[in-house]
Amino acid sequence: MAVTQWSPEFVKELLPAAEKTALLYHLSYLCLANFPNLERIIRSRAVETQLLFGSSDATMLKCILTSQNLVESLFPMLVKAVEKNKPMLAVKFLEKARAWIKDIITDVEKIVEKYDLHNKDVASSTSDVIKEKDDTEKNIKKQDQELKQAESALNTLKSLHKTTIEELAETEKKINSKSQEIQEFARSITQTSRGLGIFSALVPFIGLIVKSIYDAVHDPENIARMKALEAELNIFIANKTALKQKEWQTQLQLIDAQMKAAKASFDQSSIPNPIHLDEVQSSLTKIQAILIQLKYFWLSVSEMLDYLKKKTFVGEDLIDDLVDLKDEFIESIEVAKQAWSSFGAGCKKASVIFKLQTKDAYKFLEVSPSSMSKEEWEKEYQSVKKRLENIDPPKSVPSSVTPAICQ
């Protein structure tokens, strides 16, 4: 997993995963109508998820406040330190910023651990459903032909979906590897330029660093190498987008096939396969992975601020050079402000989603699906399905000529 993100808005990927989780719980709940014991299990796990999202919102709030503090307190103080040639003032505020960040890292580690434990509980619930399903079906000697056909179609789609996810995971590995290669090459270039070195310490988003290299570096060999690496990365990104489209469409077909199997199984008193709980686990795992990225992101920011402190404000041999680089430093600060404001805005969007999930998304638990008529059940299912389809999937494959830094 790449530890330094390309874009300040990388946390926005939390949004669809959080929305999908509640809708998939809702579908699981509908599928287990007429099985009160299993309804209770789903209700219990959904409430746990709701509480976990509340804790996630609190973590996002800390990220928002820290971003604001960097923009409104740290960066202005760094500018003042440079203008008045007071390096120890800068050191004081850099240490304060690192203390904020250390607090966030501790919080994120705790929430990641909670997601890990919760996902294991959801997996246990899936096992409970499967066990009860097996016990129930021992008493059913003959299945309806419609149910057999529905389950056969479901198994075919499950196989296709599994293959697509495996291909997507492999492509993700290639993207992370290539991103890491670009990151290391970009860092090697910034080490030869003090102006770029300061910029890279203030702006932790590798996409913006690559853009600054194009603007500031004129070595044809370095530029050619960077463009070649980006071209390779863009191919992987295009493949990933195409696979995400395929996975999304397959998932929607899978959900539909599962609901058909569920409806067919009701007449047989048979418990449907808990496939939607598997998808809940996938969504929770996605959220957990993004939060792990968030942890490594803040770790890298802390390291870069420490680098800035030691190499620029504590290293006496560089203080004089910093006076000469005043304009470049202040320009870097301005770009850093914009980047961190964008990151804070992404965290705000994630916070809003977690708040909505905590407040409204689980109201369906107030009504038992076993109390619904077939017409009410169908209407509820169609409503959830439509909302799932409206969650923003990848729309198109990006052009290979579009630089990765613009994605």
Q: Is the pLDDT of residue 261 over 80?
A: no
Which whole-number Å values give the CA distances from 95 to 91, 153, 275, 308, in the listed order? 6, 59, 49, 11
Task: Supply angle C-alpha 319, 324, 325, rounded to 5.
Answer: 85
pLDDT score, position 186? 81
Say how far apart CA 306 and CA 314 lie, in whole Å: 10
Say how far apart CA 405 and CA 383 lie, in whole Å: 38
Segment among 32-41, 164-173, 346-355 with least mean pLDDT: 32-41
For residue 58, the surrounding DSSP H or E stretch is: helix 36-69
Q: Is the pLDDT of residue 405 over 50?
A: no
Task: Supply angle C-alpha 38, 41, 42, rounded to 5.
Answer: 90
- Please give the single-letter amino acid code of residue 339: A
Alpha carbon 333 to its chain's center: 27
What confidence tier does 182 reach under pLDDT thresholds 50, 70, 90?
confident
Say how far apart CA 178 and CA 264 lie, in whole Å: 47
pLDDT score, position 109? 92
C-beta separation of 36 from 370 below 8 A: yes
- Coil/strand/helix, residue 98: helix
C-beta separation of 67 from 344 below 8 A: yes
* Structural tokens at position 251: 């998932």
Q: Is the pLDDT of residue 318 over 80?
A: no
Q: Is the pLDDT of residue 359 over 80?
A: no
Considering the chain, what percentage of its residues have pLDDT values greater than 70? 82
pLDDT score, position 135? 64
368 sits in the region (left: phi over 0; alpha: psi -120 to 50; else beta) called beta
Can you spell out the DSSP letters for 274-290?
Answer: -HHHHHHHHHHHHHHHH
Q: Determine the average pLDDT of the residues in 316-321.
A: 51
> For the chain, what is the mean pLDDT?
79
What confidence tier does 394 reach under pLDDT thresholds 50, 70, 90?
very low
Q: Is the pLDDT of residue 301 over 50?
A: yes
C-beta separation of 172 from 308 below 8 A: no
pLDDT in tens, 193-208: 666 777 777 777 777 7
pLDDT in tens, 44-68: 888 999 889 888 998 899 999 999 9
pLDDT in tens, 121-134: 888 888 877 777 66
What confidence tier does 161 reach under pLDDT thresholds 50, 70, 90?
confident
Q: Is the pLDDT of residue 93 over 50?
A: yes
Say how far apart CA 3 and CA 5 lie, in whole Å: 6
Tokens 């109201």, located at residue:
363
Say how far apart CA 63 and CA 348 lie, in whole Å: 9
Higher pLDDT, 306 or 137: 306
What confidence tier does 314 reach under pLDDT thresholds 50, 70, 90?
low
User: How buried is 130 (Cβ within 10 angstroms: 0-12 exposed, 13-18 middle, 19+ buried)?
Assistant: middle
Q: Determine the average pLDDT of the residues in 13-31.
A: 86
Say how far apart CA 62 and CA 101 lie, in whole Å: 9
Closest alpha carbon to 78 in 331, 345, 340: 331
Which whole-number Å values give the CA distances from 190 to 194, 212, 224, in the listed order? 7, 10, 16
Can you spell out the DSSP letters for 366-402?
Answer: GS-GGGS-HHHHHHHHHHHHHHHHHS----SPPPTTS
* Structural tokens at position 191: 């080490």
DSSP 312: I
pLDDT in tens, 233-250: 888 888 888 888 888 888
